[in-house]
Structures are given as structure tokens and as C-alpha cells.
A and B are shown apart, each in its own frame.
Chain A
Amino acid sequence: MFEKPPQVKGDAEPNYKEIEAKKIAQEKIDSVEKRRDRLGSVVLNSLTFAFKGYAAIQRGERFGEVIKRGASEIFRKADVRGEEHFTQIVREYEDKIELAVSDDEKERLSRELESIKNRWETAQKRHGEDIEKAQKYMGWI
């Protein structure tokens, strides 16, 4: 005789659902955070800053201004791209929620979307801090 597996009931079930939603949310956010534009903007600008061109910036030289403008443009455009990809994910979820065939599915998708939004907020904060570190290093801020 086999023993019956323990049934997951009560508090354990919503917990499991939360964990699953967070896991899926993290995968979605990673898909934005690990994009070439997102990672590359920080890495390549950091390398440029490592040449210590800030001396020229601080002296207000035209060469310094060109560095500042070029690097800022890369940060800005990569940010716009990141937002676009995040918005795309949110839209896809909203469509899926609207088309969900059951309340359970709707609830699961809504939970995942909520988690995605929370994680994006954290990811954006962290990304902003990385840029700030690089800019501080350059003496811009």
C-alpha cells in the first residue's frame, strides 16, 4: 500500500502561488534587465568614464562636453528602450487577463502582473543607482 501524499491546503496554497508569481515575475524582469542595451549602456559608459575624461568635463572643455553629451544620450536611450520593453510585457498581461477563460486564470495572471510591476520598480531603482554611481564618479553630480 502506498501512503497518500500530503495535501496542500489552507495557508500553504496562497503562499505557493505567491512564490510562483514572484518567480515568473523575476524571469520577465530579467528579460528586460539582461538585454544588450540595458547592460551595455552601463558597462560601455563605465569603461568610457574609466579613462577619467572628467578632468576635461570639470575644466568645462569642449571635449568634456562631448563625452558628457554622448554618455548621457546612451543612458537616456537605453532607459527609453527598457521602459518600452516593460510596457510591452504589461500590455501582454493585460490582454491575457482580459481573455482569461476562468477566474482562477485571471487571478493567477493578475498576481503575476502585480509582482512584475513591483519588481520593475525595484529594478529601475537599482538601475538608477548604478547610473548615479557612474555619474558621481565622473563628478557630474
Chain B
Amino acid sequence: MTESYKSELKTILKQNGVTDEDLNLWSDLLNNIPDEIFPKFKDLFALYPDSISFTNELIKDEKEAFAKKDENEISRIFNKIQNYLVI
């Protein structure tokens, strides 16, 4: 993801209460996301403001699950996503 995309997204996150500590985690992840997906982040956050806090909590849970390679935890996270998306 290019720098301007990243900083724009981080500004949106910060304006919506994401802490500096959490922003560091976002910074790492944003480097790994294809540029083309970026407008979808903006649309999701603008249309569904609750998605910002949901996503912020989600990546913290995922960080833990990935670090431990905890299969049950990652399954639980995917269920949580499905519930949030109502699918």
C-alpha cells in the first residue's frame, strides 16, 4: 500500500479513536495489503462507522491467535466475522 493511502487510512482510524499503540499494529498490516483494496476500507469505514472499532479489536485478537497458532481461536474469530457481516 502506498504511503499516501496508508497515511489517509491512519488519519481516519485516529479520528475515530484508535490509539497510537493500536496504530502501530495497523502500520505493520497496511504494508501487506494490495493497493486496490484500499478504497474498500474507506467505503466500509465511512458507511459503517462501527466497523472501525470492530476491525481494531479483530486485529488485536488475530495478532494473538496468529502468534500462538491457536486453531480454536482463529476459528472463533472467523465466526465472529461472519456474525458481524450477518452472513
Within B41-84, the residues touching A (CB, 8 Å) are 41, 43-44, 47-48, 51, 55, 58-59, 62-63, 66, 69-71, 74-75, 77-78, 81-82, 84
**Which of B51, B71, B77, B78 is A63 in contact with, Cβ under 8 Å?**
B71
CB of B7, distance to nearest CB on chain A (Å): 17
Closest chain A residue to B30, Cβ basis: A50
CB of B86, distance to nearest CB on chain A (Å): 6
Within A30-74, the residues touching B (CB, 8 Å) are 34, 36-37, 39-44, 46-53, 56, 61-63, 66-67, 70-71, 73-74
Q: Is the interface of A mostly helix, strand, loop or mixed?
A: helix
Chain B residues contacting A39 (CB-CB under 8 Å) are 40, 43-44, 47-48
Q: Is the interface of B mostly helix, strand, loop or mixed?
A: helix
User: 9 smallest A-B Cβ distances: which pairs?
Assistant: A70-B78, A77-B87, A50-B32, A50-B29, A39-B44, A37-B85, A63-B69, A40-B85, A51-B66
Other contacts beyond A36-B44, A56-B69, A71-B78: 18, CB < 8 A = A34-B47, A40-B44, A40-B48, A41-B87, A44-B81, A46-B37, A46-B40, A47-B29, A47-B33, A49-B33, A50-B30, A50-B32, A61-B69, A66-B71, A66-B75, A133-B37, A134-B34, A137-B34
- Interface on B for A, CB 8 Å cutoff? 29-34, 36-37, 40-41, 43-44, 47-48, 51, 55, 58-59, 62-63, 66, 69-71, 74-75, 77-78, 81-82, 84-87
